[in-house]
Amino acid sequence: MADLDKNNTAETLDVVNPYDQTYVGSVPTVTWDKIDEYLETAQQLFKDRKQWLPAFKRISILKKAAVLISQRADELALLIASEGGKPLVDARVEVARAIDGVELCAKEISALTGKQIPMDLTEAGAGRIAFTSKEPIGVVVAVSAFNHPLNLIVHQVAPAIAAGCPVLVKPARDTPLSCQVFVDIMHEAGLPPQWCRFITCETSTCERMITDPRVAFFSFIGSAKIGWMLRSKLAPGTRCALEHGGVAPVIIEESADIAAMMPSLLKGGFYHSGQVCVSVQRIFAPRDKAEAIAKMLAAGAEKLVVGNAIDETTECGPLIRPKEVDRVEEWVNEAVAAGATLVTGGKRLGDTTYAPTVLLEPPVDAKVSKMEVFGPVICVYGYDDIDQAIAQANSLDYAFQASVFTKNLDVAMKAIQELDATAVMVNDHTAFRVDWMPFAGRKHSGYNTGGIAYTMHDMSQDKMAVIKL
């Protein structure tokens, strides 16, 4: 890092390609004095209703931003691959989703409406009419993760803009460049800069920003350990949404078409090298089929091309940091030493890559069985009774998305009813998502609900008028 200004302790944050550690770009960090200025400006914007942006202006800005993103789609996809290690084929999908998300925010503004409240249900309320309207909640601070460096920012920042909230956004230190471009695009689209600020800063400074009493809403995507810690320190009155990881379970039932499900399971488990909060991690299969399913997964995993995400042929990129390869290697070795069968993988391919790995019957108390791997590892377990499989799937403190593969409607409904998850996919992998659906974790996996419309609702507040006739 190099000094940015002799009179300022801020520094430059260098960004590297996680595959070969080559330089990609840099962004300036800011100190508390600058963040304090941003917060004060944002609070004054919110307090002065004459400065609020009317809905038609917010719609116009968001629509123009979507066009600008589409015009820079190739550049953004390469940037995502370069700084985040997501293969180009998947990075292009992320950019397309980001465009859709911004357009959806513009559309959802028309749904930020109140309703009439009946008052004459009792004599006490008679002679009055009442209705509600929506107002922005106030200053939003968004802190994001590395694994979807553009689309996560869209899901946190664009709803704030749509709801009429000033927003300060701090991306992951590994992947700030996509966020910086997105904020620049919003400004180019006509959003006054003071309404959306891009920030990179030191951890202690970030915590000070998050816990500042001027913050009305805190949006966080990251680890459960950090998210719950920050929530415990929020100023009184600050609302929040936390999105953490899961240890996603898949139940395969006797009637399922095993060959047909393989591409879905491989994509769900090894997409972005497993660095997805709802990545397929635990597969429960009938005991007499578990080994065969593990071998079929292994055969598919062995064909995946691991390499630099900016190469067109790459299907699995690097892990975000070399120390994450160390951690995944340690967890897999622990499971194998405790009795798991290594069906394929189980080795590092370099300082920054790990082979797509399939484990059969790791112990239930192994880290790979009870914690989010966030790496290219799928575990397969045999079960004798589907109730046992559901109980094991539900046994952890984490609950996010789950899935079941079956041709039996009764089994599908049983899984939907009994799996502890916010979404149960039938005949699809656990990582399926479209940007307008609710997306949330239960228990340790999160707090409140993501998804464009749901986030806009969280960043708005109701006001009721009661008029005595």
DSSP 345-365: --SBSSSS-B--EEEES--TT
Catalytic residue selected from 103, 135, 243, 361: 243
Verify whether residue 201 is a known catalytic residue: no
Strand partners, 134: 462
Measured between alpha carbons, how far is 68 from 62 in angstroms, rounded to an integer?
Answer: 10
Q: How far apart are the first and last CA of the chain?
A: 67
CA 267 from centre of chain? 17
Verify whether residue 316 is a known catalytic residue: no
Both tokens of residue 183?
Answer: 């904020």
Q: Interior CA angle at 251 toward 245 and 255, to 5°? A: 155
Measured between alpha carbons, how far is 273 from 280 in angstroms, rounded to an integer?
Answer: 11
Measured between alpha carbons, how far is 381 from 250 in angstroms, rounded to an integer?
Answer: 10
Measured between alpha carbons, how far is 285 from 364 in angstroms, rounded to an integer?
Answer: 15
Backbone angles phi, psi at 341, to 5 degrees: -90, 125
Q: Interior CA angle at 250 toward 291 and 394, to 5°? A: 115
**What is the CB neighbour count within 10 angstroms for residue 74?**
12
The position carrying tokens 């202690």 is 204
9: amino acid identity, one letter: T
With beta carbons less than 8 A apart as the criterion, state whether 32 and 9 touch: no
Measured between alpha carbons, how far is 332 from 368 in angstroms, rounded to an integer?
Answer: 7
Both tokens of residue 260?
Answer: 């047909």
Exposure letters 347-376 (e unless 16+ CB within 10 A, then b): ebeeebbbbbbbbbbbeeebbbbbbbbbbb
Measured between alpha carbons, how far is 125 from 134 in angstroms, rounded to an integer?
Answer: 23
- Sheet with 23-28: strands ordered across: 3-5, 8-16, 23-28
Catalytic residue selected from 277, 316, 324, 372: 277
With beta carbons less than 8 A apart as the criterion, state whether 374 and 244 touch: no
The position carrying tokens 């300022």 is 8
With beta carbons less than 8 A apart as the criterion, state whether 224 and 460 touch: no
Active site residue ranges: 243, 277
